């Protein structure tokens, strides 16, 4: 009987090694404490985020199944591959967005990110004006303050939907959702008001941490 137990254990370990890891939705319920965002809006937004996690897992699992069956040339394989970036970026961008909310909206003037912004844009106000204006572009998508690690340059970027416009090698530091679901039920068509409220709730310590981690990594690798 002992050998049967070990065989079972080995099978489980073998399966575990090959099984794909599932992405798990993160808990952002602490954001309900933000006074400027309605509970109902956030609840709906979290539900949408959970859908991206579910669909990213679904696509990765389906692609593995097709590959296991040798069906890489099938129509489904191509269609799922094309869709993967959209769902995955939808998941990851929401995580970055929710993680950079819940703060005071005021960056520490001694922080590295604040000083980098002032140094590169001339003033914090100039950067903020550019970021907010990017958020007013017609259409659905995201605004991302990227750092380009090659030049340590900060760039405010428009992302169409979830997956078009990302800067290669760019590290997202501050992420703002400007899909209509992010504001419409609370702010109506007043996207400018939503952007103002977003700014008032930015968690700048998180943004600074993202900046520090990557600039530190760059200095270690010498790149
Ligand atoms: Fe969203």
CA of 178 to the centre of ligand 1 (A): 7
- Residue 119 belongs to what domain range? 112-221
Answer yes or no: is 27 within a domain: no
Please choose, from the candidates 45, 55, 31, the residue with its C-alpha nearest in 3D space to the C-alpha of residue 178: 45
Q: What pTM, to 2 d.p., does this model score? A: 0.89
103, 89 Cβ separation under 8 angstroms: no
Answer yes or no: is 21 within a domain: no
Token couple for 92: 């990851």
Please choose, from the candidates 185, 176, 178, the residue with its C-alpha nearest in 3D space to the C-alpha of residue 38: 185
CA of 48 to the centre of ligand 1 (A): 7
Q: What's the confidence (pLDDT) of residue 215?
A: 79
Instruction: State whether 152 and 81 are in the same domain.
Output: no
Taking residues 161-189, report their average pLDDT.
Answer: 98
CA of 162 to the centre of ligand 1 (A): 9
Least confident of 65-69, 102-106, 145-149, 211-215: 211-215
Instruction: State whether 51 and 149 are in the same domain.
Output: no
Burial, 29: exposed, middle or buried (Cβ in 10 Å; 0-12, 13-18, 19+)? exposed
34, 201 Cβ separation under 8 angstroms: yes
Token couple for 7: 């065989």
pLDDT band at 221 (very low <50, low <70, confident <90, very high): very low
Number of domains in the chain: 2
């Amino acid at each position: 009987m002992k050998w049967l137990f070990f065989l079972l254990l080995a099978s489980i370990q073998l399966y575990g090694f090959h099984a794909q890891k599932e992405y798990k939705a993160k808990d952002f319920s602490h954001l309900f404490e933000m006074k400027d965002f309605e509970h109902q809006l956030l609840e709906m937004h979290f539900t949408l985020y959970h859908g991206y996690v579910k669909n990213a897992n679904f696509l990765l699992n389906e692609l593995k199944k097709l590959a296991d069956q040798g069906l890489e040339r099938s129509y489904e394989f191509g269609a799922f591959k094309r869709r993967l970036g959209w769902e995955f970026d939808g998941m990851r961008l929401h995580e970055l967005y929710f993680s950079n909310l819940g703060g005071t909206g005021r960056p520490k003037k001694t922080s590295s990110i604040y000083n980098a912004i002032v140094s590169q844009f001339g003033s914090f106000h100039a950067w903020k004006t550019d970021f907010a204006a990017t958020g007013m572009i017609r259409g659905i998508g995201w605004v991302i303050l990227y750092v380009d690690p090659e030049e340590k340059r900060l760039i405010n970027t428009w992302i169409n939907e979830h997956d078009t416009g990302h800067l290669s090698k760019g590290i997202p530091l501050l992420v703002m959702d400007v899909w209509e679901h992010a504001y419409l039920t609370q702010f109506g068509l007043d996207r400018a008001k939503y952007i103002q409220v977003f700014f008032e709730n930015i968690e700048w310590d998180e943004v600074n941490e993202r900046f520090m981690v990557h600039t530190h990594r760059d200095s270690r690798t010498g790149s």
